[in-house]
Amino acid sequence: MWSFAHIANELHNWLSNQFNPTWTLIIEMVIAGVAVIGLFAMLGLILVIMERKVSAWMQIRLGPNRVGPKGMLQSLADTLKLLVKEGLTPDGADKLLFNVAPFIAMIVAMLLLAPIAFASNFQLWDLNIGVLYVSAVSSLMVISILMAGWSSNNKYSLMGAMRSGAQIVSYELSAGLSVLAVVVMSGSLQVSDIIESQRNGWWIFKGHIPLIIAFITFIIAVTAETNRAPFDLAEAESELTAGFHTEYSGMKFALFFLAEYVNVFIVCSIGATLFLGGWMPFHIGNWTGFNHAMDYIPSSIWFFGKTFFLIFVIMWFRWTFPRLRIDQLLNLEWKYLLPISMINLLVVTAMAILGWHF
């Protein structure tokens, strides 16, 4: 059956016949890099139009409907507009840090794609500490935001960056504890092992209530980590104009904008991998016929379907809940989510030791 893994194997075999092992590895790395850049571009175009269409649906209006069929090319037009805009650097700004910050945001997002399994046997790097790698690298995102806010020589940008730093560092704790709940249940930090542990059922189903609590906590925490509403205090237009990227224009602004949406895709793909089985089909016990029917759906469809479902949920949050104040935002983390996550992790650990799960 058609799959990403089949295409990758065919390409590897063809390159191995044409070149020596060293050149084969180099060419494969170049192809992987180009594919990641292409995926970033496609995700930016798709998620921007998805955001606008979902918001229009939530608010009972049409949304973009001029450029292309039913407005589906609106994000492409916006991209072309940003490409031709002049990139300005404010007077008094630290030019080096100001120009480097958006590239760091994109580099971190690209690094995070490495351990994600997009389909069965289709993964850039299946390292044995994949979950730890994701947690460590994602922490670097705050550096680009602080760098952008401080180097802009703008009080709104600096305030937005400081808010974002406090927010990301705070909510990383709850997100990390939620991830640890799945690691404890599966007994591995390797992404492929975690997916394989869900062959007989996704963790959100067979982990009982503690894993459902971990999943809800994870979704709330990563929504805050990606500065999405109702946790968008770092970019609050009514208070800070645009927050840490107030002074950015042209392609530098586009890189920050793209990094935000790619980060949403990444955290949702991690959530789908840990709690919803990743590319693993939906199986029900001994329902052999039903399970075989589910197996006919390509693994990549399962992965992207689950990921985009979680993206839709995060977009749903934006148009449902009002923006929190900064004190409410931090109270939610330190007084509620963090204690709940710590107690929940203890319960999950006891369940794993005693074998109280399906």
Say what the pTM is.
0.90
Q: What is the pLDDT of residue 315?
A: 92
Please give the single-letter amino acid code of residue 19: F
Examine residue 102 and say whether the peptide bond preceding it is cis (omega within 30 degrees of 0): no
Query: How far is it, in rounded angstroms, from Cα 138 to Cα 179?
Result: 13
3-class SS at 119?
strand
pLDDT tens over the chain, length 358 residues = 456 677 778 888 888 888 888 888 899 889 888 888 888 889 888 999 999 999 999 988 988 888 888 888 888 888 888 888 887 888 888 889 998 999 998 899 889 988 998 888 888 888 889 899 999 998 888 898 889 888 988 888 888 888 888 888 899 999 999 999 999 999 899 999 999 988 888 889 888 899 999 999 999 999 998 888 788 877 666 666 667 878 888 888 888 888 889 999 999 999 999 999 888 888 877 778 888 888 888 888 999 999 999 999 999 998 888 888 888 888 999 999 999 999 999 999 998 888 776 6
Q: What is the pLDDT of residue 240?
A: 60
Residue 298 contacts residue 2 (beta carbons within 8 Å): yes
For 116, other C-beta atoms within 10 Å of its C-beta total: 23
Query: How far is it, in rounded angstroms, from Cα 123 to Cα 93?
Result: 40
Report the b/e string of 139-160 with b at 16+ CB within 10 A.
eebbebbbbbbbbbebebbbbb
* Token pair 């990641």 in the structure block, residue: 36
Looking at residue 234, the DSSP 8-state letter turns out to be: G
Query: How far is it, in rounded angstroms, from Cα 3 to Cα 24?
Result: 21
Residue 90 contacts residue 123 (beta carbons within 8 Å): no
